Amino acid sequence: ASADRTQPLTLESDKPCTVNLARQVSQCSGNVVITQGTLVLRAEQIELRESREGHPSATASGSTAKPAQYRQKRDGSDETVEGSATRIDYDGKAGTLRFVGQAVVRRLRGTTVADEITGGEIVWDNVAEQISVSGGAASAGNPGGRVRAVIQPRATVPAAPQVPLPLKTGPSGADRP
Where do contacts with another protein occur on this chain (CB under 8 A)? 5-22, 24, 26, 28, 30, 48, 50-56
Q: Measure the CA angle with vertex 121, ends 119 and 122; round to 5°.
A: 90
CB nearer to another protein: pick between 39 and 100: 39
CB nearer to another protein: pick between 8 and 177: 8
One-letter identity of residue 160: A
At its nearest, how many Å lie between another protein and the CB of residue 11?
Answer: 4
Measure the CA–CA gap between 15 and 32, rounded to whole angstroms: 8
**How far is the CA of 55 from the CAs of 52, 58, 90, 96, 130, in angstroms?**
7, 10, 11, 12, 21
CB nearer to another protein: pick between 16 and 161: 16
Q: State phi, psi for 75 to the nearest 5 degrees.
A: -60, 140
Mapped onto helix, strand or coil, the DSSP state of residue 48 is strand
Judge whether 55 and 19 are in contact, CB under 8 Å. Answer: no
Mapped onto helix, strand or coil, the DSSP state of residue 67 is coil
CB nearer to another protein: pick between 37 and 170: 37
CB nearer to another protein: pick between 33 and 163: 33
At its nearest, how many Å lie between another protein and the CB of residue 79?
Answer: 24
Q: Which residues pair with 16 in a beta bridge?
A: none
